[in-house]
Amino acid sequence: METTQPAEQRSTGDQRRRELLEAADRVVLRDGPGASMNAIAAEAGITKPILYRHFGDKEGLYRALAVRHTDALLSALRSALDAPAERRQRVEATLDTYLAAIEVRPQVYRFLMHPSEGTSGADRGFDAGQQAAPLLRRLGDELGKVIEERLELGPEGQQRARIWGHGVVGMAYAAGDWWLRERPCPRAELVKQLADLLWGGLALAEDRPGAPGRL
C-alpha cells in the first residue's frame, strides 16, 4: 500500500493540474493576454493562493499553457507533414495547419506570443519576449529534426536542416502575425505565397531512403 500511494498522489495532482489548465484555457479564450490569475482562479473555483501553489506565478502558468498548446500544434504539424500526398501539397497543408491554428484561437495566440498586451498591475514583471522566444525555438528545433529525418541534405545536412527549421518557423510566425492583425488576403492565398517562397530548396532536395512520411 505504501508503494502505490505516491503514484496515486501524482495521478491526482496531474489530474488537478489538467483541470486548472482547462480553466485557464477558457479564460484565455475569453480575455486573451488580459487573462489574470484572479480570473483564472475564479473560473477554476479556487483561491489565487491555490493557483500559485500549482504554477507559482503568471510566468509559470504561461509556461504550462505554452507546453500544452505547442504539443498540440506539433502533433497537428507532424500529421500534415506525414499525410499521403505530394510534397508540395504537404508543405501547403503544414503552413495551413499553423495559420488555421492561430486564426481559430486568436486570443490563445495573443496570450502566448504577445502576453504583454494585457499585462498590468501585479503582472508588470512578466517578460513577454523572454517567454515567447523559447516557444519559437522549440518549434524550430522540432521542425529541423523532421526535415533532417526526411530529406537527404548532404554532408552538412544536420546544420542545414536546423537552419531551415528555424527559418521556416520564423517566416511563418512573422507572416502569420502580420496577416492575423491586418487580414490583407485570404488564408489560402497566404499559404500559396509562402509555399512558393519555400519551394525552391525543398523541391530540389531528395528524400532519404526509407524515411518515415518522406517530404
φ, ψ of residue 152 in degrees (nearest 5): -90, 105
Residue 106 has pLDDT above 80, yes or no: yes
DSSP string, 57-72: SHHHHHHHHHHHHHHH
In-domain check, residue 5: no
Amino acid at 107: Q
C-alpha cell at 93: 497543408
% of the chain at pLDDT higher than 90? 51
Give the pLDDT of residue 151.
85
| Cα–Cα–Cα angle for 214, 90, 64, rounded to 5 degrees | 90
Res 150: pLDDT: 85
pLDDT: is 90 or 214 the higher one? Answer: 90
Cβ atoms of 62 and 131 within 8 Å: the answer is: yes
Q: What average pLDDT does the segment 187-211 reach?
A: 82
If phi > 0 it is left, if psi is from -120 to 50 it is alpha, else beta; for residue 85 that is beta
**74 touches 94 (CB < 8 A):** no
pLDDT, averaged across the chain: 85
Task: Tell whether 122 is covered by a domain.
Answer: yes
Percent of the residues in the chain that have a pLDDT greater than 70, as a whole number: 82
215 located within any domain: no
Global pTM reads: 0.81
| pLDDT, tens only, 142-198 | 999 988 988 888 888 899 999 999 999 999 999 999 999 999 999 999 999 999 998
Question: pLDDT (tens digit, 9 = 90+) per residue, 135-157?
Answer: 899 999 999 998 898 888 888 88
Say which range, 8-12, 46-50, 83-87, has the weakest mean pLDDT.
8-12
Helices and strands (H, E) in the chain, number of each type? 9, 2
Number of domains in the chain: 1
- Note whether residue 82 is domain-resident: yes
State the residue range of the domain holding 150: 58-207
Q: At what angle do helices 37-44 and 5-31 cross, to 10 degrees?
A: 120
pLDDT given at position 211: 60
How many residues are present in the chain? 215
With cut-offs at 50, 70 and 90, classify the pLDDT of residue 1: very low
Write down the pLDDT at residue 199. 86
pLDDT at residue 81 in the model = 87
Q: Is the predicted pLDDT of residue 202 greater than 50, yes or no?
A: yes
Are the C-beta atoms of residues 23 and 40 closer than 8 Å to each other? Answer: yes
Residue 145 lies in a domain: yes
7 domain residue, yes or no: no
Contact 25, 62 (CB under 8 A): no
Question: Where residue 202 sits, what CATH number does that domain have?
Answer: 1.10.357.10
Q: Which three cell numbers stand for residue 159?
A: 546544420
How far apart CA 116 and CA 58 sit, in angstroms, is 11
What is the distance between the alpha carbons of residues 161 and 156, in angstroms, rounded to a whole number? 9
Residue 25 lies inside a defined structural domain of this protein: no
Distance CA 181, CA 170 (A): 17
How would residue 2 be classed by pLDDT, with cut points 50, 70 and 90?
Answer: very low
9 lies in some domain: no
**Residue 73: its pLDDT value, please?**
92
